Structure 1
């Protein structure tokens, strides 16, 4: 039986009675780090929906959580609480959600909207490259879309130029850690308890050794980040835990539970992660304009 996802309560911010005029689309700078084409020009990205670029509502954590949960539901609400090293590699393409009819195109939308328009990756999908050529499922890792998913959610929620959109998680981890992102602030998992709408990040493979003290790194590194969608849970499998949603986890948009202490932190004072699967290297606080939409539920 699929566990029921419980959402955290989010405090409404006081908002003025008179709505300000909706801003017009504005240029979005491409971050320097880890882009195939290098630093791009300032541009208004016409791949992005009008409601996002003009910020018809303030950039808010409720929308980011809701968009991530919507995508998770679209993929069938999978939950992955096991250790990824114990998961067998798929032996046939047909069992991979990212290649299913209707879903491989959705991943194409993550690339098309999430990345800046001069990047090769905008033309990728869940099973085709920039030339429209289908690639073998054994090569899916070359087209990993977890950072594209995060970029998509932030872009559609109206982050505009406050998020360093990239096909690589380390781009925005390093941008936050170096103070180069106006919309992100990097924190040590020992000291900061993530809130709904924040990101938690970990190095992958040989980069599992990356810790907060190592950031920012001089070069990009393999990493993964998930969007926090629920906090202060008590239940299986970890007791006190939070829930994150990430892309390209088991070839899907997937919910993962993460153990935390009584204060909601990911690591003990000596820096040891409470999660034996993931040595979290950073929490990225997202600097929202509001906690909720001003007319949420109306």
Structure 2
């Protein structure tokens, strides 16, 4: 028998085959285990922007700023991880006003291509809010990189030479409600590729990290006014594995939308990523001293 449907109710999108995760990789919403004793950085001055704007941007506006093969910045609803579509919508923008990179990946390429951000016209304050947030996040990022450099025996500005003409960027993630969260992932298992990532959320849990000892997935509890700092691949190489990047993923749920914003520190395009010589020598000497004592 037909029933009336309230047109004002927002129904979750249907599950498509491209988003379904193979059974052995699926999350288990009924058996969540949490990661305990996570070190916390208090970030009271740094607030998450109104990420709901991403969900509120109308389809026409999203199409205007959609990413394409020649434009890596903007809106996308079909990101894939390990060939499986993520249950997410994203909006990417770089922290520089423009960025010049080689026009191709050929080693001897002499032509350059200049990239710019794409911004929707509405909401009117979307660009302003994003800029204010990333300015605060960038300040924190610089402070963290100085502390990490000092911890590795480098001067505080030890990474600066690799960050001229940096490729730092931010991403707003919107993870819609999912009718069958056990079948999909907001973001599949992966390691971050850059230097480090700063992550803030709207307080809805979903970030999970993979424990190396047994492969178990552990959920992080969201903490108000805090940021998650994720070490990434470039830092692992620079530090000669003193810092290690972790495998992580994002799960979704059937009750609450999840929003997050990440700011990523990334070296300049022309930097050759390898262990920093001073760290290599320092680590070798440290090992020798231990063996002789």
Q: TM-score, normalised by structure 1?
A: 0.27
Q: Which has the higher strand share?
A: 2
Q: TM-score, normalised by structure 2?
A: 0.28
Bigger Cα Rg: 2
